[in-house]
A = this chain, B = another copy of it.
């Protein structure tokens, strides 16, 4: 793999960049592309434009030959017929990498293909490797490089993404940004005249900062080469692919878009499975699946436990599991008994576990332990209470409801003046002083139980879990401190409190996940945008959550067939916390593991 790393290094880690066709006319791509590079890149950036003295305040050069210093990367934003001559000049200048954004090559017919062949010949002879043509550009976080047609909301992260569709790629990067997922590398490669999709994937495979790889593929120049290279990568990290092409109409649309020839989809599908590639059915599933792999352990098998805030959620989830080949097995009598100990008699007495409208919400968070400790259960789907913050706006509009959640500001206002006490409690939590923690909580248990509509026994059991891990105690200490600060704000504090509760729920799920080394996929059944919180991400629908779980199973099964070493927490534990989010840092997880 050393070859590809060396070959693509000038592309992903350039020290200097020229933008050929950089423009002052803001309605030209040469303007927004140049601005996009300027936004992020710390090294020298040279606008190349024969008719301007300056572009966006930078001294312009007629040709790359006129630039005094060395150039590592050239970005082309000029009409296609002008690219060959410019490429000659780049080669003469000793430039080793290019991004050809210009369109008008093979996708336009014979003449375009000749032009593309010429560009490719010149680059090959000059040892210059390039992205594109007819693409939107690329992003490389380590280099601070955004050689893209416009400024993307960019965030460093554990994913890498290569796409033959710039628009669908850009949409997914924006959508991922909203969810708290960042990209270490993102390449819109167009028809991939020079560097092939498998080359990018091989490069991402060799980068330790990349934990999961995404690809949108329209056509491959050499399917065999792709499969061979990618099969090696999937042994180290997951590769998720969306590739349309199941109909003749699609093949035609692809030819006119990227000029690629789509082969037999059925053969390709089988070969991809053999290579361990996780193929998904829509662009959005690329993100859903990546987030699942980054936040969850790999399940040992296909047996799913479902805990649901509503019977109908459970029914729908069971249907989705059946569709994806996952099992929803019966629970042993012992577990039924244990669950009967925390839920009212009307609970479902089976899997899906449904408390049937129990208002003792605390009990709901005891149930995962009872289900996850079963060796018969490989994964948990946790439904209906996965996220509160997204729900905040709606809750605000229905304030008059008497639901538990609305009493929290009232409770907090009762606690005014107790900030000092909260600090003492938080300190005890942070220090892990269990005796002190219990001494402080036991006297207030009856009051708290009454408030939560719970009972002291349930609360005691819940506390036992809350106090059992360093990570959980730390999150709880943060929650207590923040809640004390919010205590004076009354109703206005509700959104912030919902955020705190989400963080606490997320920490609890992470605790269960790491204790039992089993995935816990959650769903909200609410189409509000969700954000990754450490080890937890609530999918908006049951179907999405179940599809992701099925992909985790598929990946685990592939690794097992290949005799690869499997650490269930290997991928998931390495998700970086989104900026400002409640996620965990890698170091924290390591320390948690060694507790």
Q: Which A positions have Cβ atoms within 8 angstroms of B? A: 26-29, 31-32, 35-36, 38-39, 103-104, 107-108, 134, 149-153, 163-169, 171, 174-175, 177-178, 216, 218, 244-247, 249-250, 252-254, 256-258, 282-284, 309-316, 318-319, 321-323, 327-328, 345-346, 348-350, 352, 354, 356-357, 359, 384, 391, 394, 397-398, 400-404, 407, 452-453, 525-529, 541-543
Evaluate contact between B527 and A318: CB separation under 8 angstroms.
no
Q: Is the CB of B175 within 8 A of A526?
A: yes
Complex interface: chain B residues within 8 A of A107 (CB): 311, 346, 356
Given contacts A28-B359, A284-B527, A311-B258, is CB(A244)–CB(B316) below 8 Å? yes
Which residue of B175, B319, B356 is within 8 Å of A246 (Cβ)?
A: B319
Q: Check A254–B315 contact: CB distance below 8 A.
A: yes
Do the beta carbons of A401 and B282 come within 8 Å of each other? Answer: no
Residues of B within 8 A of A403 (CB): 32, 150
Q: Are A402 and B31 in contact (CB under 8 A)?
A: yes
Complex formed: what's the CA distance from A319 to B28 in Å? 32
Task: Among B250, B349, B401, B527, point to the contact of A150 (Cβ < 8 A).
Answer: B401
CB distance B312 to A165 under 8 Å?
A: yes
- Give the residue of B167, B244, B350, B525 whose beta carbon is less than 8 angstroms from that of A256: B350
Extra inter-chain contacts (4) besides given A167-B312, A178-B528, CB under 8 Å: A174-B391, A253-B328, A256-B348, A256-B354
Known: A167-B309, A284-B527. A151 touches B359 (CB 8 A): no
Decide if A249 touches B167 in the complex (CB within 8 Å).
no
B250 touches A541 (CB 8 A): no
Check A354–B319 contact: CB distance below 8 A: no
Select one of B150, B218, B526 contacting A174, CB under 8 A. Answer: B526
Q: How far is the CA of A257 from the CA of B350 in the complex (A)?
A: 10
Q: A150-B401, A247-B322 are in contact. Are A525 and B171 (CB under 8 A)?
A: yes
A346 touches B103 (CB 8 A): yes
CB distance from A236 to the nearest CB of B (A): 28
Cβ contact of A310, chosen from B168, B175, B244, B400, cutoff 8 A:
B168
Contacts of A103 in B (CB 8 A): 346, 356-357
In the assembly, what is the distance between CA of A397 and CA of B319, in Å?
40
Report which of B247, B257, B391 forms a contact with A311, defined as CB distance below 8 A. B257
Which B residues are CB-close (under 8 A) to A29? Answer: 357, 359
Pair A313/B35 contact, Cβ less than 8 Å: no
* Contact between chains at B249 and A359 (CB < 8 Å): no
Bound CA span A352–B283, Å: 18
A249–B303 alpha-carbon span in the complex (Å): 12
CA distance A554 to B249 in the complex (A): 21
Q: A27 with B310: in contact, given A256-B350, A315-B257, A318-B244 (CB under 8 Å)?
A: no
28 A-B contacts (beta carbon < 8 Å): A27-B453, A28-B359, A28-B453, A29-B357, A103-B356, A107-B346, A107-B356, A150-B401, A153-B398, A165-B313, A171-B525, A174-B394, A174-B526, A216-B312, A246-B319, A247-B322, A247-B323, A249-B321, A250-B319, A253-B314, A256-B311, A256-B348, A283-B316, A283-B541, A284-B527, A527-B529, A528-B529, A529-B529
Shortest distance between the CB of A281 and any CB in chain B (Å): 8
Cβ distance A308 to chain B, nearest Cβ, rounded Å: 8
Query: When chains A and B are docked, how far (Å) is the Cα of A322 from the Cα of B252?
Result: 12
Q: A151-B400, A541-B284 are in contact. Are A250 and B315 (CB under 8 A)?
A: yes
List of B residues within 8 angstroms of A283 by Cβ = 316, 525, 541
CA–CA, A401 and B169, complex, Å: 18
In Å, the complex CA distance between A155 and B407 comes to 25
Complex CA–CA separation, A394 to B541 (angstroms): 24
A157, chain B: closest CB distance, angstroms? 15
Q: Are B527 and A175 in contact (CB under 8 A)?
A: yes
Give the complex CA separation of A153 and B403 in angstroms: 14
Q: In the complex, what residues of B have CB within 8 A of residue A177's CB? A: 394
A401 touches B36 (CB 8 A): yes
Contacting residues, chain B, for A354 (C-beta < 8 A):
256-257
Bound CA span A436–B397, Å: 46
Taking a contact as CB atoms under 8 Å apart, the answer to whether B350 and A316 are in contact is: no
CA distance A321 to B250 in the complex (A): 9
A9 to chain B minimum Cβ distance, whole angstroms, is 27
**CB-contact partner of A315 in B169, B253, B310, B357, under 8 A:** B253
A311 to B328, CA, bound (A): 41
Cα A310 to Cα B528 in complex, Å, equals: 26
What's the least CB distance linking A245 to chain B, in Å?
A: 7
B394 touches A313 (CB 8 A): no
In the complex, which of the residues B38, B247, B312, B529 contacts A218, with contact meaning CB atoms closer than 8 Å? B312
Contact indicator B401/A32 (Cβ below 8 Å): yes
- Chain B positions within 8 Å of A404 at CB level: 26-27
A35 contacts B401, C-beta separation under 8 Å: yes
**Known interface pairs A319-B247, A525-B168. Does A151 touch B401 (Cβ–Cβ under 8 Å)?**
yes
